Amino acid sequence: MTDFASSRSPADLVRIEASALLALAGRLDGAMAQEFSRAVEIVLKCGQDRGRVVVTGMGKSGIIAQKIAATLSSTGTPALFLHPAEAVHGDLGMVARGDIVIALSASGETEEILRLLATIQRIGDALISFCCNTDSTLARASDVTLDCSVPEEACSLGLAPTASTTAMLALGDALAIAVSIKKGFRAEDFANLHPGGKLGKKLARVRDLMHSGLRVPKVRPETPMKDVIYEMSRKGLGMTTVETEGRLAGIISDGDLRRLLERTGASGLEQCAGDVMNHTPKTIQGDELAARALFTMEEKKITSLVVVDPEMHIEGVLHLHDLWETELI
């Protein structure tokens, strides 16, 4: 006869873990709300005091601890992972005064972590624990204990950490993001911490992609249109800036040139840049994200933006083609 545990479908196993997360969410809304807020304030103060968050755990909890440390670091809270077994052989030197420790242990009785308690409490500013047993040795020794208990594990034997480690992971994510929100962490800050790979490309700043220096097409208001056309062709951006003493006075685009010839014929070439230019071109500052530049180009149906500083000095030109490599398009 097949017992209930062995008859669980894959969907049932996922539902068990989902139930564990719903139970955790309920505690965060209720009984655990105050303790969670305390944990957020402790982590926030640690960052303000230039301390670090040291996350530790053994076995599968250790793997979750590594991910939590990575999430904290990527959202602006300096964090590192400490292997508890290695800690007793010298790695405990990674913990410095001003640091706080987050310890993950389902039972709260993990021997390798308990051996660290005396040193952690002597050196670290605070100890936060993620435990399924809030009456455990680790929980009682902690400044803040966050309850990760689950109704049941997805493992049919109830032995392998499954739903409990899922709850730990979600709780760690919630803590990291709550802290980042409190400190006002922005997309620009996230971009600074992710300069490489596909994500880094998508979070690139305008300054990193723009044409600058001699690659920027520039003419003066008194420049004859024949010379304007030469500058536009030479720089190959389909436009040119018009400057007065280094400041942006306007731009002339291929479209402006085409409309001029349609309106006036060849006589239009006798005019000067100041007669033809668009006096109110769209601009952007170099510290803006490339994604914002793309939004502006799409909204205004234009292919380039002049990059300026707050005093309207020309710093560069960003063309739609420059955004292709970011994989935003």
Separation between Cα atoms, residue 19 and residue 26, nearest integer Å = 11
Same domain, 165 and 28: yes
Residue 196 resides in a domain: no
Same domain, 38 and 162: yes
The answer to whether the Cα torsion of 183, 189, 195, 197 is positive or negative is positive
Give φ, ψ of 4 to 5 degrees. -60, -45
Q: Is residue 83 part of an annotated ligand binding site?
A: yes
Q: Which of 150, 185, 220 represents a domain boundary (last residue)?
A: 185
> Residue 38: what are its φ and ψ, rounded to 5°?
-65, -45
Q: Which two tokens stand for residue 176?
A: 């990291």
Is 140 in the same domain as 257? no
In a domain, 144, yes or no: yes
Q: Is residue 105 part of a domain?
A: yes
pLDDT of residue 32: 97
Phi, psi for 81 (deg, rounded to 5): -100, 135
CA distance 305 to 320: 9
Give the pLDDT of residue 1.
38
Residues 139 and 36 in one domain: yes
Domain-ending residue, one of 128, 154, 185? 185
State whether 177 and 308 are in the same domain.
no
Residues 164 and 41 placed together within one structural domain of the fold? yes
Domain match, 292 and 234 both? yes
CB-based burial label for 190 (10 Å; 0-12, 13-18, 19+): middle
Q: What is the DSSP string of 132-144?
A: S-TTSHHHHH-SE
Report the alpha-carbon distance of residue 61 to residue 165 in Å, rounded: 6
Helices (H), 88-186: 111-114, 117-123, 137-141, 163-182
Mind listing the pLDDT tens digit for each residue in 143-156?
999 999 999 998 87
pLDDT of residue 93: 85
DSSP state of 75: T
**Percent of the chain topping pLDDT 90:** 71
> What are the phi and psi torsion angles at 271 (to 5°)?
-80, 175
Q: Which residue has the tokens 């982590």?
A: 43
Q: CATH number, domain at 307?
A: 3.10.580.10
* Same domain, yes or no: 136 and 215: no
Is 37 in a helix, a strand, or coil? helix
pTM over 0.75: no
For strand 314-319 and strand 304-308, is the pairing parallel, antiparallel, or unpaired?
antiparallel
Contact 148, 21 (CB under 8 A): no
What residue numbers bound the domain in which 106 lies? Answer: 5-185
Q: How many CB atoms lie within 10 A of CB 321?
A: 14
Q: In this structure, is residue 191 part of a structural domain?
A: no
Residue 137 lies in a domain: yes
The single residue listed with the structure tokens 């300096």 is 78
Q: What pLDDT, on a 0 to 100 scale, did the predictor assign at position 2?
A: 44
Residues 37 and 104 in one domain: yes
In a domain, 146, yes or no: yes
Query: Count of domains in the chain?
Result: 2
Kindly state whether residue 287 falls inside one of the protein's structural domains.
Answer: yes
Among 151, 185, 219, the domain-final residue is 185
What per-residue confidence (pLDDT) applies to 292?
87
Q: What is the pLDDT of residue 91?
A: 87
Domain membership flag for residue 190: no
111/223 same-domain check: no
Please tell me whether residues 138 and 251 are part of one structural domain.
Answer: no
pLDDT for position 99: 94
Instruction: Identify the segments of the chain with pLDDT beneath 70.
Output: 1-7, 186-202, 325-329
Query: Quick one: 96 and 21 in the same domain?
Result: yes
Q: What are phi and psi of 234, to 5 degrees?
A: -70, -35
Query: Residue 127: helix, strand or coil by DSSP?
Result: strand
